[in-house]
Amino acid sequence: MPLTEKGEKIKGAMQQNYGKEKGEAVFYASKNKGTIKGVDKADAETEPGEKKQEDEEQEAQDLPTQLKDAEQQLEALEREQEQVDEGQERQNAIDDTKEQIRSLRDEIRSQTRKALGKKADALTELETKQDSDLIVKHIEDAVDGLSKRMDAFEEKEKKDYAGAVAR
């Protein structure tokens, strides 16, 4: 059913206040309940001055009831909005906590990489030292072997010299 200018204004205000879908739902619920009238063209076909006497009396009697209903509906909507706001606050807190966790994990990874890098450097240094120690050990063994051979050679030379002198 097409809306009147009044209906368009009220619907627009409700959509602006509650959001497009929620505002539309509140508007039609209010219209169907009778809280707001004259918002669609079928309701507005009679001119304002053409209302029947009993319609005016009935409407006058219903105004306090309509006011009470509208106030209760507003309170319910405000409670819903508070729950939505609380939900959004919780979601924001969850998002903030997730971001904090991501940052902490990144920091832990960074520190772990640094520590591993230092361990790798220390291990490389140790391996180099061990390689150096091994080379030194081989040189010492080679020198000891040469020293023994030299001693044996000198011993043989002494014996050969002593034998040559004795002849």
pTM above 0.75, yes or no: no
Q: Which residues are CB-contacts of 44 (< 8 A; sequence separation ≥ 6)?
A: 4, 6, 38
Chain centre to alpha carbon of residue 127: 43
Q: Where are the domains of the chain?
A: 5-116
The proportion of the chain whose per-residue pLDDT surpasses 90, expressed as a percent, equals 1
Tokens of residue 119, six digits = 């361990």
Token pair belonging to 34: 């009778």
CA–CA distance, 76 with 83 (Å, rounded to integer): 11
pLDDT, tens digit, for every residue of 46-70? 545 555 555 555 555 667 777 777 7
d(CA 133, CA 39) in angstroms, rounded, equals 98
- Segment 107-116, tens digit of pLDDT: 888 888 888 8
